[in-house]
Amino acid sequence: MSVLSLRTRGRHLQLGHTTGAEKGDVALPIDVMMVKELEILGAFGMQGQRFGTMLNMIGAGRLNPGRIVTRTVGLHEAGGVLESLETYGPTGVVVIDEFRA
């Protein structure tokens, strides 16, 4: 476990979700974390100030975000997509592309 390798007042950065097998549950050594005063950080996206760079890369053809889009849905289907996250249903990225009720 990476947390055990951290120095005192070290930081662990968790990027993205856990696997389907873990289902969001990961054992953490709380006593070690407290004694060593560790910081646990999470991130699941890009910082807003970096969007311009990303959009320029898309415009230049160096980045193709469509490769990770596995499905597009209308706004009326968004609730079902969110519910399916509970069972790790969708893989890839689901994009809402229709906003009429």
pLDDT of residue 31: 95
Res 24 pLDDT > 90? no
* pTM for this prediction: 0.45
Residue 96 region by backbone torsions, left for phi larger than 0, else alpha for psi between -120 and 50, else beta? beta
pLDDT of residue 68: 86
Q: Which residue has the higher pLDDT, 43 or 7?
A: 7
Q: Where are the alpha helices (DSSP H) in 1-101?
A: 30-35, 51-59, 78-85
The size of the chain, in residues, is: 101
Residue 77, helix vs strand vs coil: helix
The predicted-structure confidence for 38-97, as pLDDT tens digits, reads as follows 999 887 777 778 889 999 999 999 999 888 899 999 999 999 988 888 787 777 788 999
- The Cα–Cα gap between 26 and 95 comes to 28
pLDDT of residue 8: 95
Mention every residue, 6+ apart, whose C-beta is less than 8 A from residue 36. Answer: 6, 7, 8, 9, 10
